[in-house]
Structure 1
Amino acid sequence: THWGSQQSSTALVMEEEFQFLLCQGCQKEPRNPKLLSCLHTLCTDCLEENKPVGQCPICQAPIPQASGIPDQDNLLFANLQAKLSTYQKIVSSSDLVCDRCKDLAEFWCSECEEFFCIRCFEAHQWFSKKKSHETRKVRELKAESARQFLEGARKSSILFCSNPTHNDQNYITSIYCRGCLKPLCCSCALLDSEHSKLYCNIQTEIERRQEELGSLSEELKRKKAHFEDVYKSLKGKADHMDQVRTENQELIRKSVEHMVQLIREKEQELLEMVERQHRLGNEDLEGKLKKMEAVLKRMGASEQLVEKMHLYASDQEVMDMHPFMKGSLEELMKLQPLAVGASVQAGDFAKCKAKLQFLKDSGPPPPAEATPTSLQARWQLYALSESRRPDSPLV
């Protein structure tokens, strides 16, 4: 699948490396990507289409929201899309203009997300000298790969105070309170003396959260191996059940070909019996296989998202997405593989084979005896003897 269309802001230049940003349902560039509790990411169009079902179309995990639209945005994917759009704009355009005065742009500020000409750049540097804004020359960015551009934007990301009244960018945070579970600026930290012993460096907390997600992901990988073993075992049993069905069908067809018309009428009865036995034996396996497939898909999505968090997530994205992801990963860790039942027994088809053997032993009658009445009588005699056996299986 190519990344978007030619008109897309993040067209083919992205290639395979960023295919994970596509909606996992329709494989298109998503609008407002939403993160489900199973850690699959879907666009709003897919969620709207799937609303009557109320389940993830990938793994059938329930979507608890009545609207069918999860509350959690995939901030990582949405922000990566925006950054890749900017990168595409930089590498594909030779006449970028300043966002302030429309002169030729020569600089880019990843924090302001704006292009500047030389004059506006100097003004920006003066006004933001205390805010640690990192600006780059456009010609340098053009020479970078998409991965290098994203890495630079990630390193320059700044965290701001969580206090809603501190929406001014002067309130940069370097402190995390483990009591109220929020990042704080120095002013808020000084005013909150009650939690002073619970403060730590914000980078320490970010590293702890990344390590926590990494540990959960590693545990999940080990657990995933058990689920894969169960899945393979169930799949093997299902394949064996299919093989038994196929062998019996072939045996029935070859035998029935040598019998008279009346016996041919019994062919369908025997085939239906085999199919019924297969269906009854296979229903449980199919249910377990679907459950294993769903869980494995969830584990795969979880593993991928944690990996991309390590590669691309900014500090703010880690802080915002960690609680939701942690809850989903811990819930997934509670799941246990289904127990695998006994092996498929060829004896499940014993009654069918017994009826077939009776037909073969009877053999095609001589021409004088080849009447529907005589053949029907033989079959009725066999059916009567079978019904009187104490261990005779029910039809």
Structure 2
Amino acid sequence: MASKIPESANFDEQFLTCPVCMLHFRDPRVLPCLHTFCRECLQEWATKQQPLECPTCRTQVSLPDQGVDGLRTNFYVNNLLDFAAVKKGAGPGVSCQVCEGKGEGARSWCVQCAVLLCESCTNTHRRFPTLKGHQIVTQENLEASEGVPSSFQRKAFCPEHEDQVLTFYCEPCQTLVCVACTVVDHRPGDQHNPLKIGSVAERKKRDLQKLIANVAHREKDVRDTLKEVEREISELPTSADAAIEQATAYFDQLIALLQGRKEEVVTEIVSRRQEVGKCLETQKEAIEFELTGLTSASEFCKQALEHGSDVHVIEDEGQARQRVAELMTTPSDLTARPSQVVFSEGTAVAEFGDVVTRAGCVQIKVKVDASNCSVEIKPAVEGFSNVSLLSTVDKNGQLCSVLKDDVTATLTDPSGQAVPTQLQEKGRGLWEISYTPEVTGNHSLEVKVNGGSVAGSPFDVRVQSMDTPVLTIGRYGSGEGEVSRPTDVAVDMDGNIAVVEWGNERVQIFDARTGQSLRCFPVDGGYPFGIDTDSSGQFILTFDF
């Protein structure tokens, strides 16, 4: 059996190179996070940071008591290194590393001795009793193999008995042992149970298959999510550019509106200036004409007084009196006229600034799984405003905001006529769907998020008559859920209904959705009559003495 390995072009780089030193592994050791590095590289890395972090995944690692030397050796990488060396060295013209080329070229490889052998040395090697158990891999096997042959593996020797191969596994100790260990330190009994490696390995292989199966589903989800994230990364520039175009067009429209209004106001100012100027010029001409007449009359009278004889005065006084009477009969209008054109701010700059800061909103669109979203249908009454609550969640089930345009809610009455609905986000991922049905009967509410139907949509909304109780709370009595002579109700901060009972001298809290009693507390000091809540949620009671 052969283990598949990558093509030779990527063989060294992907499997045989240490990520730290970027050289072929030297004594490869495996961290608990299953990443492999050279022993020396890990020792140097451990001196630079505490606690130790994996150089690849940054997972914090707890080293065994022996430090890096206590980490497991990656035998698979060692096998690959040996195999790569043999594949490279067993080619034509390569001499035997034992007889140094005195015979024919190298034809095989001793796994334990890690040397290339010619055919003659191979036969000699096999005849030595102490070398009889060594694994010989021929050139034919190497050339015919697409991967690493199962026989091409270094034998693992016991650290306590260096000439003994590890052939048993002591389960209580969870340690690989040799035959000698089973006689001395791991003798079968109550504390030790050495088993042949083959049977234990088969069980471990089944366990590894289960681990692979357990990882496979999550790995698929992660790979799918990774592809989705990569797709979203590739689409991000497009969506951002589209958002920039939309924002630019939006603000260009606002700027155009302001520019248009500016031109209208400036044009109106110019027009009003012409109107006011014309009015003032007309008034000026009339005043100047009257002033000329008054000045002329005054001068005439002065001349008659200063230079005229009595005869002249008598003769001119009548004419002067007639002229002054004419001037005083039709005087010019001296009342105030529009004299200035001023600009008045319809909206203060500061107020407009607040509006501008709310003009346009940048949001990050979250991937919402419509099938995980939910809608809570509340009882509805004809002619009254009613609401249903929508919760939008992401793929992980966490509440998340979505764009209003991505949410649609359509309510139809029993006859199929659409009922106007309104959507309003009340909090992160929480939406109110409000509507006022005009007829009784079963209505249908279809809710979609990002074009996908919410789980359970369309929903049945039963609209009752205004004369039919939507919720009945309690019955007569003094037990839990029973009431006696209720006098007032209030709604607490959690939306529950608090009922004050004059007969039982207590306050009982009911669930507003189910009508079930949640709790109650007695009231001392008289007969409770009224109830309300303050801003902190505390109940305020009034009493009837």
Match of 1:204 in 2: 199
Deviation at residue 219 of structure 1 after TM alignment: 1.0
Match of 2:187 in 1: 193
Match of 1:88 in 2: 88
Greater shift after overlay, 246-255 or 44-53?
A: 44-53
Counterpart residue type for residue 213 of structure 1:
L
Q: 2:249 aligns with which of 235, 245, 254?
A: 254
Question: How many Å separate the matches in 2 of 1:49 and 1:113?
Answer: 30
Deviation at residue 203 of structure 1 after TM alignment: 0.8
RMSD: 5.2
Q: Aligned residue pairs: how many? A: 272
Counterpart residue type for residue 95 of structure 1:
V
Match of 2:210 in 1: 215
| Structure holding more helix per residue | 1
TM-score when scaled to structure 1? Answer: 0.51
Match of 1:341 in 2: 398
Q: 2:169 aligns with which of 171, 176, 200?
A: 176
What residue ranges of structure 1 are gaps of 5+ in the alignment? 1-11, 286-337, 352-395
Map 1:32-111 onto structure 2 (within 5 A): 32=26, 33-41=28-36, 55-56=53-54, 58-64=56-62, 71-91=71-91, 93-99=92-98, 103-104=102-103, 105-111=106-112
Map 1:230-379 onto structure 2 (within 5 A): 248-260=243-255, 274-275=361-362, 277-278=363-364, 339-342=396-399, 344-347=401-404
Q: 1:75 to 1:117 in 2, by over 3 A?
A: closer
Match of 1:158 in 2: 155
Task: Report Cα offsets for 1:1-51 as digits up to 9, x if no partner.
Answer: xxxxxxxxxxx9713567640548589554335534333345677997996
Counterpart residue type for residue 62 of structure 1:
Q
Higher RCO, 1 vs 2 (CA within 8 Å, ≥6 residues apart): 1
Question: How many Å separate the matches in 1 of 2:258 and 2:37?
Answer: 56
Counterpart residue type for residue 218 of structure 2:
K
Secondary structure of 2:152 counterpart: helix
Please say if residues 83 and 150 of structure 1, whose CA atoms lie closer than 8 Å, have aligned partners that are also in contact.
no
Match of 2:503 in 1: none
Question: How many Å separate the matches in 2 of 1:262 and 1:26?
Answer: 62
Task: Report Cα offsets for 1:75-114 as digits up to 9, x if no partner.
Answer: 32233123211221112x4132233555334443222222
Task: Report Cα offsets for 1:318-353 as digits up to 9, x if no partner.
Answer: xxxxxxxxxxxxxxxxxxxx83424541149999xx
Match of 2:25 in 1: 31
Question: How many Å separate the matches in 2 of 1:212 and 1:47?
Answer: 32
Question: How many Å separate the matches in 2 of 1:69 and 1:272?
Answer: 61
Q: 2:162 aligns with which of 155, 162, 167?
A: 167
Counterpart residue type for residue 175 of structure 1:
F
Deviation at residue 57 of structure 1 after TM alignment: 5.9
Secondary structure of 2:189 counterpart: helix
Q: 1:272 to 1:114 in 2, by over 3 A?
A: farther
Question: How many Å separate the matches in 1 of 2:118 and 2:21?
Answer: 38
What residue ranges of structure 2 are gaps of 5+ in the alignment? 1-5, 260-352, 369-394, 407-422, 425-545
Deviation at residue 69 of structure 1 after TM alignment: 7.8
Q: 1:124 to 1:340 in 2, by over 3 A?
A: same
Q: 1:217 to 1:193 in 2, by over 3 A?
A: same
Deviation at residue 253 of structure 1 after TM alignment: 0.5
Please say if residues 177 and 195 of structure 1, whose CA atoms lie closer than 8 Å, have aligned partners that are also in contact.
no
Question: How many Å separate the matches in 1 of 2:231 and 2:358?
Answer: 23
Secondary structure of 1:31 counterpart: coil
Secondary structure of 1:195 counterpart: coil
Match of 1:143 in 2: 143
Question: How many Å separate the matches in 2 of 1:24 and 1:122?
Answer: 37
Match of 1:21 in 2: 15
